[in-house]
Amino acid sequence: MLYLRYVIAAWNLIVFLLYGIDKLKATKKFSRISEFSLIVCAILTGGLGATVGMIVFNHKTKKPKFRFFVPLSLGIWLYVYYYIL
């Protein structure tokens, strides 16, 4: 059980960094991480990292699909984490 918590925490850190890397790539005009990949990473237990990444880096905050799916994934995983784990 404790191991799973570390894995989820590490994944959220990775997702947070992905949002930061994508923001950096956007400002430098480099090839970007696809929106699909960012949303899927958020859905796969990375909702907290994605939410914090959106806020800290001010990235993808105006896109409707991110404003819907990222908080939704955070809510789902908080529910799962609290009631199942």
Nearest CA to 51 out of 82, 11, 5, 59 is that of 59
H or E stretch covering 7: helix 2-28
Residue 68 amino acid letter: F
Percentage of residues of the chain with pLDDT beyond 90: 82
SS3 category, 80: helix
Query: Residue 20 in contact with residue 53, Cβ under 8 Å?
Result: yes
Q: What is the pTM of this model?
A: 0.90
* pLDDT the model gives residue 81: 83
Of the CA atoms within 13 Å of residue 30, those in its CB half-sphere come to 8
Q: What is the pLDDT of residues 4-42, one digit of tens each?
A: 889 989 999 999 999 999 999 999 999 999 999 999 999
